């Protein structure tokens, strides 16, 4: 055992569990790749101000949860706590919005970092797949992204999740609601830190998960009652498009999520089998974020889905993904000449696109066959001195147990034929 361990609140992703995580990432990104979204990758750290401006200085993410560092040159950087601000920054820096083909549709996958109290489903290092549609204000884009996430989850076999939907209004109608909400909140019995939020961003109080706060919010004014005609019409169109696509959702007047940049559409995917950490992903429209970080007006919408949380949701529903075995053919060589010949066969199999592994190390037939069984390979090739003298190797079907001699120079063709 090593002297060192993974930092508190983090984890190592190792085989065979890592194969499930890869399958989840592939499933989430698959609908995006067939819907015009191109892959983008950004640095794991950014200027602190990018998140302070974009995510919001009043959010827990910025005030409590960011990992920050000072470079030797004196720059203040932060490990990225979320993906949207970084992706938008990258798109602006590369002038993707000036190419004339809006919206700019991007997807990404990576690790993110927040200093939180570790618990099941909430880690200090976590993995997400995200998508952003930048530069166009259109309710069809909001609906598209929700539908694509729904499609991804259903492709994994998930059924026990719900989509929560709300509208946060815009710069025209939200100030009126903000004033009404502030008046209501000032009459509640709240701690000093929560009271500070009333002046900075009162919607953050609606996102408070503490029971003693939530029970006081039962009679809080509802944002839907303050939406302007434009925001109301926009939201109704999103709802209509989801209904037309057969995607079910629940209206949630309290849904605000934890980031300051959201406007109008906001949504969350929740799975009740996960307990307190029920959110598996979410997102919304962020029409003013580009201006917040120094760019032009670029109305946009996006989401991020948690890979870790999605894996937990699969476990909660008892779903086991059908994963391909990492190895299809395992070669067992008995003797030096067989090692040289079968190593060449393994190399040829790999070149032919067939996953193959080799019996490395000095051990007897019994030990090599144990490794072959553990590999999960469909076929095992075994060759010793007697086989080589006859110009063959023994090809064993690990499912049926049948074994037959095959000419050495025909192994790749024969295995390819059997695999179809």
84 is in an annotated binding site: yes
Phi-psi region of 175 (alpha: psi -120 to 50; beta: other; left: phi over 0): alpha
Handedness of CA 390, 393, 394, 397 (dihedral sign): negative
Are 177 and 226 a contacting pair, CB within 8 Å?
yes
83 is in an annotated binding site: yes
Q: By CB neighbour count within 10 A (0-12 exposed, 13-18 middle, 19+ buried), where does 17 fall? A: exposed
Q: What is the CA radius of gyration of the chain?
A: 27
Q: Are strands 161-167 and 104-113 parallel, antiparallel or unpaired?
A: unpaired
82 is in an annotated binding site: yes
Handedness of CA 243, 247, 250, 255 (dihedral sign): negative
226 is in an annotated binding site: no
> At how many degrees (to 10) do helices 17-33 and 307-316 cross?
110
* Distance (Å, whole) CA 28 – CA 321: 14
132 is in an annotated binding site: yes
Helix or strand holding residue 308 (H, E) = helix 307-316
- Per-residue DSSP letters for 4-37? --PPTT-----TTHHHHHHHHHHHHHHHHHTTTP
286 is in an annotated binding site: no
How many other CB atoms are found less than 10 A from the CB of residue 373? 12
* Distance (Å, whole) CA 56 – CA 192: 19
- Per-residue DSSP letters for 137-156? --HHHHHHHHHHHHHHHHHT
* Distance (Å, whole) CA 220 – CA 177: 11
Longest dimension (CA), the chain: 92
63 is in an annotated binding site: no
What per-residue string of b and e applies to 227-244 under the rule 16 or more CB within 10 Å gives b? beeebeebbebbbebbee
* Distance (Å, whole) CA 158 – CA 272: 12
First to last CA, the chain: 44
214 is in an annotated binding site: no
Residues in the annotated binding site for L-histidine? 82-84, 114, 128, 132, 257, 261-262
**Residues annotated within a binding site:** 82-84, 114, 128, 132, 257, 261-262
């Amino acid at each position: 055992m090593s002297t060192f361990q993974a930092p508190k609140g983090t984890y190592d992703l190792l085989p065979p569990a890592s194969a499930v995580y890869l399958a989840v990432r592939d499933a989430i990104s698959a609908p995006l790749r067939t819907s015009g979204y191109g892959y983008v990758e950004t640095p794991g750290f950014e200027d602190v101000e990018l998140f302070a401006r974009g995510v919001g200085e009043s959010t827990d993410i910025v005030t409590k949860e960011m990992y920050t560092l000072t470079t030797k040159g004196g720059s203040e950087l932060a490990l990225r706590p979320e993906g949207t601000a970084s992706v938008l920054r990258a798109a602006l820096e590369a002038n993707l919005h000036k190419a004339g083909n809006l919206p700019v549709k991007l997807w990404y996958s990576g690790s993110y970092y927040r200093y939180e109290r570790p618990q099941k489903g909430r880690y200090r290092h976590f993995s997400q797949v995200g998508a952003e549609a930048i530069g166009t204000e259109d309710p069809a884009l909001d609906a598209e992204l929700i539908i694509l996430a729904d499609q991804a989850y259903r492709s994994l076999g998930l059924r026990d999740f719900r989509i929560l939907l709300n509208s946060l209004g815009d710069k025209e109608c939200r100030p009126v609601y903000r004033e009404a909400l502030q008046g209501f909140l000032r009459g509640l019995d709240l701690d000093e830190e929560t009271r500070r939020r009333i002046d900075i961003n009162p919607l953050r109080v609606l996102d408070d998960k503490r029971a003693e706060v939530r029970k006081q919010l039962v009679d809080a004014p509802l944002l839907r009652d303050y939406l302007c005609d434009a925001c109301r019409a926009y939201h109704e169109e999103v709802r209509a498009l989801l209904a037309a696509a057969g995607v079910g959702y629940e209206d949630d007047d309290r849904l605000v999520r934890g980031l300051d940049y959201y406007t109008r559409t906001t949504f969350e995917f929740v799975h009740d089998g996960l307990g307190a950490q029920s959110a598996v992903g979410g997102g919304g429209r962020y029409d003013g974020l580009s201006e917040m970080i120094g760019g032009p007006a670029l109305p946009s919408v996006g989401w991020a889905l948690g890979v870790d949380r999605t894996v937990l949701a699969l476990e909660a529903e008892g779903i086991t993904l059908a994963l391909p075995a990492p190895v299809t053919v395992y070669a067992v060589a008995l003797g030096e000449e067989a090692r040289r010949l079968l190593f060449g066969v393994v190399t040829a199999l790999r070149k032919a696109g067939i996953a193959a592994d080799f019996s490395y190390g000095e051990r007897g037939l019994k030990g090599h066959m144990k490794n072959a069984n553990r590999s999960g390979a469909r076929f095992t090739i075994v060759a010793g001195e007697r086989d080589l003298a006859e110009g063959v190797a023994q090809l064993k079907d690990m499912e049926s147990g049948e074994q037959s001699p095959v000419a050495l120079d025909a192994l790749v063709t024969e295995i390819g034929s059997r695999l179809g």
